[in-house]
């Protein structure tokens, strides 16, 4: 490489390159390691190697589909860490001889080749741009309309890769018109089969609902101590114990039982994080009460759903036995 070429590339990479993603340096690197020339497929493969969303996508496929089939047929065994599936194992695979391994691997290769010969590249149509090419301009418009959030779970494009999904699948006659497109994160899109025409575009709008005059919809920012996409945390204005916190969905919704699952997930995540922080801040905390007042008869006075997280300390009441049963006078002890 000439000094001029080296200087040009070095200057561009170090000072002139403006990045909105990793694509530029990945492509330059691939060209460099291949002697200055690379095919589109080689560059695409290099980009794929840096995209964890694709690994996660096929991780979901492994756990939710192929892993279940093989395990149910007694071929594989699931390996777990706690409740999480971490891998699979072929029982007694160590007993196979090298010739036996070769025969089995060849049988797998033959099965793959035979299937692809029958089906061709259509087998990858669920992941292929060729199944319905969406131009960059149209893709941008769909994502912009969704405010760069998944229109089902609400996660932002900064946290998970977003995909443009056909509401009515193309194999059912769905068009590439913007009205038939929605933004979904790869997890939600993986769970939505190509037979499913569920339209989630309105869900994101519901998450944005706020109500004038609601004290939780109009919280001053200095009261918010933590938040995520769909929920936030404040300290209770009238605490029953030090550290008494409220976990509140951002959407104006009165009843806990009408929350969407992503909101429940968001609340649970913040509750765990808040609990952990309180335990670090105060080693005198020995337990927690968690509770929701749902409806006037249950004591709800602010009709914007909120979950109480109340730290408890030994000796803060004479006899804590029964805990939340104490909301009904005389019923705490049993």
pLDDT tens digits, 266-320: 898 899 999 999 999 999 999 999 999 999 999 999 999 999 999 999 999 989 9
- 226 and 312 share one domain: yes
Residue 247 has pLDDT above 90, yes or no: yes
By annotation, the residues acting in catalysis are 306
Lowest mean pLDDT among 48-57, 104-113, 130-139: 130-139
- 124 and 146 share one domain: no
- Bigger pLDDT: 327 or 123? 327
pLDDT at 250: 94
- 200 and 179 share one domain: yes
261 in any annotated domain: yes
Q: Number of folded domains in the chain?
A: 3
The Cα 176–Cα 170 span in angstroms is: 8
pLDDT at 217: 96
- 124 and 138 share one domain: no
With beta carbons less than 8 A apart as the criterion, state whether 249 and 264 touch: no
- Bigger pLDDT: 3 or 155? 155
Q: Percent of the chain, pLDDT > 70?
A: 90
Residue 182 has pLDDT above 90, yes or no: no
pLDDT average, residue stretch 14-42: 84
18 in any annotated domain: no
The Cα 63–Cα 83 span in angstroms is: 13
The Cα 153–Cα 310 span in angstroms is: 28
64 in any annotated domain: no
29 in any annotated domain: no
Q: Which of 114, 113, 108, 65 is nearest to 85 (CA)?
A: 65
Domain limits at 237? 221-319
User: What CATH number is associated with residue 282?
Assistant: 3.30.428.10
Residue 170 has pLDDT above 80, yes or no: no
Distance from the first to the final alpha carbon of the chain: 83
Average pLDDT, the chain: 84
The Cα 128–Cα 123 span in angstroms is: 10
280 in any annotated domain: yes
Lowest mean pLDDT among 109-123, 133-147, 173-187: 109-123
Looking at 152, 178, 207, the residue that finishes a domain is: 207
- CA dihedral of 273, 275, 280, 282, whole degrees rounded to 10: 150
For Cα atoms 109, 110, 116, give the angle at the middle one, nearest 5 degrees: 90
Q: pLDDT-based confidence at 168, cuts 50/70/90?
A: confident
State pLDDT tens for residues 84-123: 888 898 888 888 888 888 888 888 888 888 877 887 766 6
15 in any annotated domain: no
- 147 and 226 share one domain: no
pLDDT average, residue stretch 130-159: 78
3 in any annotated domain: no
Residue 171 has pLDDT above 80, yes or no: no
- 192 and 261 share one domain: no
Lowest mean pLDDT among 183-187, 224-228, 285-289: 183-187
- 125 and 136 share one domain: no
For 152, the token pair is: 């089902």
- 115 and 182 share one domain: no
The Cα 139–Cα 209 span in angstroms is: 25
116 in any annotated domain: yes
For Cα atoms 122, 123, 126, give the angle at the middle one, nearest 5 degrees: 85
pTM for the model: 0.49
Which residues make beta-bridge pairs with 226?
Answer: 233
- 191 and 249 share one domain: no
Binning the chain into helix, strand and coil, the percentages to the nearest 5 are 45, 15, 40
Looking at 207, 237, 267, the residue that finishes a domain is: 207
Looking at 129, 147, 181, the residue that finishes a domain is: 129
């Amino acid at each position: 490489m000439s000094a001029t070429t080296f200087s040009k590339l070095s200057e561009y990479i170090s000072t002139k390159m403006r990045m909105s993603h990793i694509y530029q340096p990945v492509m330059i690197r691939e060209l460099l390691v291949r002697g200055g020339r690379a095919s589109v497929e080689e560059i695409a493969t290099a980009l794929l190697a840096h995209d964890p969303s694709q690994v996660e996508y096929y991780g979901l496929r492994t756990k939710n589909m192929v892993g279940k089939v093989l395990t149910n047929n007694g071929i594989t065994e699931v390996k777990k860490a706690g409740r999480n599936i971490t891998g699979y194992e072929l029982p007694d695979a160590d007993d196979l001889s090298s010739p036996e391994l070769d025969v089995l691997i060849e049988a797998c290769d033959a099965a793959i080749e035979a299937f692809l010969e029958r089906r061709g590249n259509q087998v990858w149509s669920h992941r292929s741009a060729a199944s319905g090419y969406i131009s960059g301009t149209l893709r941008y418009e769909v994502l912009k309309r969704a405010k760069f959030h998944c229109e089902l779970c609400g996660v932002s494009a900064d946290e998970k890769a977003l995909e443009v999904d056909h509401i009515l699948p193309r194999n059912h006659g769905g068009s590439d018109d913007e009205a038939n497109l929605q933004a979904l994160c790869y997890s939600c899109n993986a769970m939505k089969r190509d037979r499913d025409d569920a339209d989630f575009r309105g869900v994101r709008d519901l998450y944005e609902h706020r109500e004038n005059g609601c004290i939780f919809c109009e919280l001053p920012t200095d009261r918010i101590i933590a938040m995520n996409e769909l929920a936030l945390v404040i300290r209770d204005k009238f605490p029953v114990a030090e550290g008494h916190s409220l976990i509140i969905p951002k959407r104006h919704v009165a009843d806990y039982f009408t929350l969407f699952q992503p909101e429940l997930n968001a609340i649970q995540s913040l509750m765990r994080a808040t609990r952990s922080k309180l335990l670090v801040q105060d080693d005198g905390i020995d337990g927690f009460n968690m509770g929701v007042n749902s409806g006037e008869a249950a004591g709800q006075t602010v009709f914007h759903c909120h979950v109480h997280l109340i730290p408890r300390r030994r000796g803060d009441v004479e006899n804590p036995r029964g805990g939340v049963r104490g909301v009904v006078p005389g019923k705490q002890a049993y």
